[in-house]
Amino acid sequence: MAVRIRMMRMGRKNRPFYRIGAFDAHEERDGMSIENLGTYDPMESNNEKQVTLKRERVDYWLSVGAKPTETVASIFKKLGIAFKK
């Protein structure tokens, strides 16, 4: 099973909120995740509170071959999380 680390949209209209999770690559955007790894709130003004992650679990999924989407990869890059392309 190919695993992707990507975002699932939550929240309401004009107020997005995302959960970052490990998903089967064939699962739909808002489908069931294997594991929730954190959250991303683009509307948060405080940059430190914008992203919350379970770093140990993110490192685990990256170590077993999960690939982040482009958006999640850019978030990881800002946070200094190393991953293979």
22-43 pLDDT, tens per residue?
999 998 877 899 999 999 999 9
Q: Which candidate, 52, 46, 8, 10, places its Cα nearest to that of 29?
A: 8
HSE at residue 21, side-chain half, CA atoms within 13 A, is 18
Beta strands in 41-79 (DSSP E): 51-53, 67-68
Which domain does 45 fall in, by range? 3-79
User: Is residue 68 situated within a structural domain?
Assistant: yes
pLDDT at position 53 is: 95
User: Is residue 27 situated within a structural domain?
Assistant: yes
pLDDT at position 30 is: 79
Q: What is the CATH number of the domain that holds 73?
A: 3.30.1320.10
pLDDT at position 16 is: 94
55-75, pLDDT tens digit by residue? Answer: 999 999 999 999 999 999 999
Into how many domains does the chain fold? Answer: 1
Is the distance from CB of 19 to CB of 12 less than 8 angstroms? no
Q: Output the pTM of the full model.
A: 0.87
User: Is residue 84 situated within a structural domain?
Assistant: no
Q: Which candidate, 10, 34, 11, places its Cα nearest to that of 21?
A: 34
